[in-house]
Structure 1
């Protein structure tokens, strides 16, 4: 069995999706379940977790509607304003949606490097455990130090680092990233997604070997029990096909035992996001 723990859907809007620049023209269009389903079948992937791309409750409801009509969408990572004064009320509201497994905020876009340690954001994170919601950490290497402080504060909250925290594959400058990723991996309540690799590399000239060093680092730091596969489709189409994204992980993890491969490809994601519920 295979689960893609990280992909996105959207109806493209040039205002809402202004982050999709002209150099990203290949993804300046709609991407919906009808586009993903044949790719999952072709690559023998049994289900996926759809992750927010826009910071609005409208986005969360949009993903929930798609999940209602498509059984292969096993879980949703939505968005809610974690800094809101009525955060309890909003989490109570969303708790009734069984496919909604957790939330994410686009920390990497915040101008304030200390945003995730602000009092209001920490208050929001503190409420998630009550509702068994997970939290996806979307950051750059420069944020890892603060991310470690965040997860240390909430030892019973389940966190997952998206995209290995985006190491600089293009320039192969890994020192800050390696120090930070090893530090955050020391906390047992944190997992890591092997996802979004190709978009941090040279889009036109990457090879699978570009990723091996960082995969070695996270595998040693987190262990096979705390890693999960994610495609980051359709953002990944900037640099690779869906099959290519799968192949990078296949090449690396093929040397592991069948049991460990099952953990990486499905069991860890199923347990983290409670996809069997």
Structure 2
């Protein structure tokens, strides 16, 4: 049986000081989030491995996360950060990729005012370096960023890409037309996967299964179960639900899938996306 993988979780230490978005206004998650706190939640929900994802736009945090991963057996890989717009981005990505625990990189696109930033020509060397190193591009997008992401995918058809949090559909207003069209356009690129994560924090505090079902049905229709990847977004998810509640919700939303399809979403697809790719790249480079 394929081990269950949580493909999107965070840890942070506030005293590090580079989490610009993490302020006291966020209440219950404005605190240290540690691997020891997450471990029993994983065990209680049958999750064997995780992918640890960056939460600060610094290489210092990436080094911190790689250190956490090295001493935390359940962490299978790290999605870090690099300045894609820097002149030496290609060299920096190649250097970061020397650590076998690095499986991907993620600029915090949702926080960049220019919604077309991803399509800037000066970022092309960074995307080429990702491809060469066998790293995944984690796309932290909202609907307005999708056109630029599509241009990147057209220019770099070999880029392995996963859309974080399903591009954050606006579930509070319920106007999903532009999101639906954008997600369908992204899914038309066969190298793109999508994380089933982060949805409850885009909904109001009174969310229900019915709130999320139209989004998940659309994701299944355009990506299919072989390109959806379960993630918790812990501890951010706890703003709206407990870890176990989100796992139960995701299972309920996928209840109509065949057992093999559910196993793919809850582990097999993440293993294929993140873990097999680094091995292939190392073999090609060797």
Q: CA-atom RMSD, angstroms? A: 1.4
Q: What TM-score, normalized to structure 1?
A: 0.96
Corresponding residue of 1:171: 173
State how 1:159-198 maps to structure 2 within 5 Å: 159-198=161-200
1:22-61, aligned counterparts within 5 Å?
Answer: 22-61=24-63
> Quick one: distance in 1 between partners of 2:179 and 2:139?
15
| Deviation, structure 1 residue 219 | 0.5
- Matched residues in 2 for 1:80 and 1:211: separation? 33
User: Which residue is 1:268 aligned to?
Assistant: 269
- The alignment status of 1:214 with 2:215, answered yes or no, reads yes
Q: Which residue of 1 aligns with 2:260?
A: 259
> Once the two structures are superposed, what CA deviation does each residue of 1:1-43 show, in whole Å capped at 9, x if it has no partner?
2100001110024953331244411001000111111110011
**2:283 corresponds to which residue?**
none
**Gapped regions of structure 2 (runs ≥ 5):** 280-286
Shift of 1:55: 0.6
Instruction: Give 1:92 shift.
Output: 2.4
CA contact (8 A) 2:197 2:231 kept: yes
Q: Secondary structure at the match of 1:155?
A: coil
SS state at 1:274 partner? helix
Alignment length (residue pairs): 276
Is 1:83–1:123's contact at 8 Å kept on the other side of the alignment?
no
Q: Decide whether the 8 Å contact of 2:94 with 2:129 is kept in 1.
A: no
Q: CA deviation at 1:91?
A: 2.0
Correspondence for 2:251: 250
| In structure 2, distance between residues paired with 1:16 and 1:66 | 17
- Distance in 1 between residues matched to 2:259 and 2:174, nearest whole Å: 31
In 2, are the aligned partners of 1:103 and 1:133 still within 8 Å (CA)?
Answer: yes
Q: TM-score, normalised by structure 2?
A: 0.93
Aligned-pair distance for 1:258?
Answer: 1.1
Q: Structure 1: how far apart are the matches of 2:110 and 2:74?
A: 29
Query: Which whole-Å deviations, capped at 9, do the CAs of 1:61-83 have from their partners, x for residues lacking one?
Result: 11100010011000100001111
Contact in 1 for aligned 2:139/2:161 (Cα 8 Å): yes
Change (3 A) 1:134 1:183: same
